[in-house]
Structure 1
């Protein structure tokens, strides 16, 4: 990854071109109906995310239990999960998975669904951040990875059930959005701690300030956008909660 910094840049540029060209192409055409393909796509991402969570979360818990909070934020991650092949593998796969996840937008375009800012901004920013974060061996990155795996496992399974029309009534998209917002809240808290803890460590810290600033901007903007989406989509003028679909995001 260190030797190929152009890959995420190229992917983001091609992604932007596809959105522009694809939406123009379908402007005066009927939407396609790839429901079965979409269902299998969502199911595969759900299973992948679930497996990833089961491989990363145990090591995260182990590290938080055996390391002090300052050590967790400042130790070189390779001293921890770098010695655990399975965890290291699923962290790499997590970063690489942000490339195929761009295909989420492909289905939105061919089905002529609304493409909101939260969707495309999330995809390009998380791809760029994950790549840079992995290259810089960001210590708290494993927290972000575990959270994302967990939320995606549930979220993509929800969309699979929607695609095959088997979603139970109790499985409301409202809960998916709440989980997404919770993820962003934790992300903001972790990044804020990333500014407070390193100066207290007393040694050289592996967490780079520039990377932490990027993480705070990313999670802070996600939190604002998800809150905006939540209140716009789920709350009514009377203060009630609607039953509309959630956005396909983080």
Structure 2
């Protein structure tokens, strides 16, 4: 393993002041002191969405078209910026230091202020992303298990993992930023009245499935390293959590993929999603 002070960093063409001023020790301390607040946020979230569904039963749906356009555009912009700022470090690490370093050394937080800042922003963003569900509830669209289960587990796992500087998160963060860039752009275009071809939804769902496969593979490889006594900055408990999470996502996304595309194309519409955005897990822009 190469010493941290010899880590090769990407040559950024420009570094913003808020990135150069990032101090990872402070953010880690803050998260160590506050990550359990995520459980309270999740509790409030569950009360709001299911209580909201109950209150909306006999009320007309809200349209919220303008708010929805702004919301999806902001999330798409944030995800694109996050992808653009974390992918260079990811590729530089793979190119100069190899796969082991990319999985087992948290230099993306400790040595790179740009990637470190956007990694912390990624973790924090899982809280406001809970707002996706509010649109579903207020617009009286089907709230599926995968949607709220995915939101609460990602938030809790991300916040907990940041307290440990889980090094394999480098892969998870980059993959999520990239997929969300496409997904929220798709939602934004639909909200603005420019729906992309349905093949785009198929592509995004396929990328989501691929993301889960890669996530499982990275975790299994990490588990093997730990079993062999090879140093890797991931705790065995974190690996177990991550494997359980990614595998459950894979099963749920695969089930959705089957219902949305295979069963529907075979003429079996029973149980298949009728909302055009269901294949992307969230039904926000019909």
Trace 1:203-242 onto structure 2 (pairs within 5 A): 204-236=231-263, 239=266
The answer for unaligned runs of 5 or more in structure 1 is none
Q: Residue 35 of structure 1 is aligned with which of 65, 86, 95?
A: 65
CA contact (8 A) 2:204 2:280 kept: no
Q: Provide, for residues 187-232 of structure 1, a one-character-per-residue CA deviation record: whole Å limited to 9, x for no partner.
A: 1111111111234464x43210100110000000000000000101
Shift in alpha-carbon separation, 1:87–1:170, aligned structure 2, 3 A = same
CA contact (8 A) 1:72 1:140 kept: yes
Separation in 2, partners of 1:138, 1:45: 25
Q: Which residue of 2 aligns with 1:157?
A: 185
The size of the alignment, in residue pairs, is: 246
Q: What is the Cα-based RMSD across aligned positions, in Å? A: 2.0
Given the two structures, how large is their TM-score scaled by the length of structure 2?
A: 0.81
Trace 1:191-202 onto structure 2 (pairs within 5 A): 191-200=219-228, 202=230
CA contact (8 A) 2:108 2:170 kept: no
The structural deviation recorded for 1:63 is 1.2
Higher RCO (Cα < 8 Å, 6 or more apart):
1
Given the two structures, how large is their TM-score scaled by the length of structure 1?
A: 0.92
Trace 1:128-147 onto structure 2 (pairs within 5 A): 128-147=156-175
Trace 1:1-250 onto structure 2 (pairs within 5 A): 1-75=31-105, 77=106, 79-169=107-197, 172-200=200-228, 202=230, 204-236=231-263, 239=266, 244-245=276-277, 246-248=279-281
The structural deviation recorded for 1:21 is 1.3
The answer for unaligned runs of 5 or more in structure 2 is 1-30
CA contact (8 A) 1:74 1:206 kept: yes
CA contact (8 A) 1:70 1:201 kept: no
Separation in 2, partners of 1:34, 1:237: 30
Shift in alpha-carbon separation, 1:81–1:231, aligned structure 2, 3 A = same
Shift in alpha-carbon separation, 1:69–1:199, aligned structure 2, 3 A = farther
